[in-house]
Amino acid sequence: MSERLRRVSDKIDAVTRFVAVPIGIATVLIVFFEVLMRYVFRAPLITSVELARLGFVWSCFLGAALGVKRGSHIRFAFFLDRCGPRGGALLRLGVSLLCTAFFGFLVLQGVEMTQRVYETFFPALGYSQLWLYLPLPVSAAVMVIHGVAFVAADLATLRSAGVGDGTR
């Protein structure tokens, strides 16, 4: 089970990377082009600020999901080193459960926020502001999937080490 979840998590991570990298590059190019147009040619582009904002928000939230998958967030190595194998495994499981619950909360709140702004629009682009708020529930859902895979892997590690079954 944990192997299947890991494979699903890996595939979703690959899709996230495939989407996030071009969005990040496009955001940098949009900002560069806007600076060039505004300060060199004295002809600012009205839509570039809104496009850059959209790209920045999407790349940040998708980047957060990529960081969670790679474990690039703050770690508790100080505590893990002092807990021993059993305590460390239990601590990792607890942190994985808490993070996954928090990501689930973000999905719910993100969906609610997105629904609230659905009928408001960007002035220059004319697009719904849904696109500005949508990265929160999307990236949080990706992080939930990664979190569930981490919990399954942590449980498998605990079972294989005999932790929690009365053998230690």
pLDDT in tens, 131-164: 999 999 999 999 999 999 999 999 998 888 765 5
**Rounded alpha-carbon distances, angstroms, from residue 110 to 28, 47, 52, 79, 124:** 26, 25, 21, 32, 24
Average pLDDT over residues 39-68: 95
What DSSP state is assigned to residue 134? T
The answer to whether 150 touches 96, Cβ cutoff 8 Å, is yes
Residue with tokens 């459960």: 97
- Cα angle 116, 117, 120; round to 5: 135
Greater confidence (46 vs 106) lies with 106
Given a cut of 70, whether residue 10 has pLDDT beyond it is yes
Q: What is the pLDDT averaged over residues 32-60?
A: 95
Overall pTM > 0.85: yes
